[in-house]
Copies of this chain bind each other. A is one copy, B any other.
Amino acid sequence: MSSVGDVQPQSMHFAAPLPLASGSVLRDYTLAYETYGTLNASRSNAVLVCHALNASHHVAGTYAGQAKSEGWWDNLVGPGKPLDTDRFFVIGVNNPGSCFGSTGPASPNPDPAANGRAYGSDFPVVTVEDWVDAQARLVDALGIERLAAVLGGSLGGMQALAWSLRYPERLRQCVAVATAPNLSAQNIAFNEVARRAIVTDPDFHGGHYAEHGVVPKRGLTVARMIGHITYLSDDSMEAKFGRGMQGTAPRFGYSTQEIEFQIEAYLRHQGDKFSEYFDANTYLLITRALDYFDPAAAHGGDLTATFAAARCRYELVSFTTDWRFAPARSREIVKALVDNRRDVSYAEIDAPHGHDAFLLDDPRYHGVMRACFANLAKELA
């Protein structure tokens, strides 16, 4: 196993407006993407990787001269890795509304009334299905009629599911990891608290903070801290930090504002780091896309009726300690697929890391992924 090595981000411009679920449109837009491996002559070996909340098109490899620039799923994607770039042509794409190169809230608003200012909070609300439509246009432009697979974890898994329902003939395999058919009330609640933290930050300025030369860092920091708690399992947090203190004696500092416990230092660091690079309007948009995702809503909540449209093969994976999208949520999807006599494989991985497990290289998990893609590769040979 080795890395795909140094990679170059690319971008593609789309002149035709993208109709959105809201009834609005996204005018001409750009998508940032990367590819790894080689598209075969029959153009049958392409795998699209969809990103979750805070990731991007930079799935694998490194950027020349940039230390620690590995892609977010570099442990999974590369030569000889479970998603083997010696066999597959892998596409990573940044979704519209994000903040890593594709058109998003920080891009200039093409509306003449905006006088060239950034969209800010006027960026149209985008849904998982809108992203899938935008991705399909990129896949078209790359000359790919049918994808070997669409793969994603968490919110990325929702995009993989949406592909299988919206373009059922355009993929052989859907790989949806650590995901859910929709958000629970508790999931929405955590999103809402994060949004409140951002929106009530005085530096938010109704989403037009760029015009004021500020960013709502405090709100973003708190939002990320909340999110981060939900990505980890109670057990893994306990194993990693427990009640460990920063520094040495005296044991307690008897302060309400200083960092004393290691878990506090860790969370603040995560929050601060995130607030340096992530866009607040993007955070709002992406959490709303999560809230809205609910393919069964158009079928009266009946997930079995929803997946009657499915045609591809499915691989679903969940992790026992994931309390954000618990195994029971994946099992709902599996049941709907079995009800429809679809070809579905499901692995419930006994991993301690909570929701974050989908990004880690647990050997059982990666074994499942390796087997899934090896089978797929045989079919294409």
Using a CB–CB cutoff of 8 Å, the interface residues on chain A facing chain B are 21-24, 121, 124-125, 182-186, 188-190, 192-193, 195-197, 199-202, 207, 218, 221-222, 225-226, 229, 232, 234, 237-238, 240-243, 251-252, 254-257, 260-261, 263-264, 267-268, 271, 281, 284-285, 287-288, 291-292, 294, 297, 323
- Asked whether, in the complex, the Cβ of B267 is within 8 Å of the Cβ of A237, the reply is no
Residue among A23, A183, A185, A222 facing the most chain B CB atoms (10 A cut-off): A185
Give the residues in chain B near A237, CB-CB below 8 Å: 184-186, 189
Main secondary structure of the interface of A (DSSP, over half): helix
Question: Do residues A256 and B285 form an inter-chain contact, with CB atoms below 8 A?
Answer: yes
Chain B residues with Cβ below 8 Å from A240 are 185
Q: Is the CB of B292 within 8 A of A193?
A: no
16 A-B pairs besides A21-B254, A193-B225, A261-B291 with CB distance below 8 A are: A22-B252, A24-B254, A121-B256, A182-B243, A183-B243, A186-B229, A186-B238, A188-B243, A189-B263, A190-B229, A196-B225, A196-B271, A200-B218, A200-B222, A207-B257, A222-B222
Name the distance in Å between A286's Cβ and chain B's nearest Cβ.
10
A-B contact pairs, 23 of them (CB 8 A): A21-B254, A125-B256, A182-B243, A183-B243, A184-B234, A184-B237, A184-B242, A184-B243, A186-B234, A188-B261, A189-B237, A192-B261, A193-B226, A195-B256, A195-B257, A196-B222, A196-B271, A197-B222, A200-B222, A207-B256, A256-B284, A260-B291, A323-B323
A68 to B115, CA, bound (A): 54
Residues on B with C-beta less than 8 A from A22 are 252, 254
Query: CA–CA, A199 to B234, complex, Å?
Result: 25
Q: Which residue of B lies closest to A204 (CB)?
A: B257
- B residues within 8 A CB of A292? 252
In the bound complex, CA of A221 to CA of B195 (Å): 12
- A222 touches which one: B193, B254, B291 (CB < 8 A)? B193
Q: How far is the CA of A232 from the CA of B184 in the complex (A)?
A: 13
Question: Could you say which residues of chain B place their CB within 8 Å of the CB of A23?
Answer: 254
A185 to B22 CA separation, bound complex (whole angstroms): 41
Closest to A227 in B: B193
CB nearest neighbor in B for A224:
B193
The minimal Cβ–Cβ distance linking A302 to chain B, given in whole angstroms, is: 14
Given the complex, which residues of B lie within 8 Å of A284, measured CB to CB? 256-257
In the assembled complex, the CB of A187 is this many whole angstroms from the nearest CB of chain B, namely 9
Query: Across the interface, do A125 and B222 meet the contact criterion of CB distance under 8 Å?
Result: no
Known: A185-B263, A238-B185, A285-B256. A196 touches B268 (CB 8 A): yes
CA distance A54 to B372 in the complex (A): 52
**In the bound complex, CA of A297 to CA of B252 (Å):** 11
The answer on a CB contact under 8 Å between B294 and A193 is no
Q: Determine how close the nearest CB of chain B comes to the CB of A24; give it in whole angstroms.
A: 7
* Chain B, Cβ-Cβ closest to A286: B256
User: A188 vs B282: C-alpha distance in the bound complex, in angstroms?
Assistant: 28
Contacts of A229 in B (CB 8 A): 186, 189-190, 193
Bound complex: CA of A343 vs CA of B70, how far in Å? 58
A242 is contacted by which of B185, B252, B261, B271 (Cβ under 8 Å)? B185
Cβ–Cβ < 8 Å partners of A243 in chain B:
182-185, 188, 294
Residues on B with beta carbons closer than 8 Å to the beta carbon of A255:
125, 288
CB-CB < 8 A to A218: which residues of B?
200-201
B contact residues around A263 at 8 Å (CB): 185, 188-189, 192
Q: For residue A241, which residue of chain B has the nearest CB?
A: B185
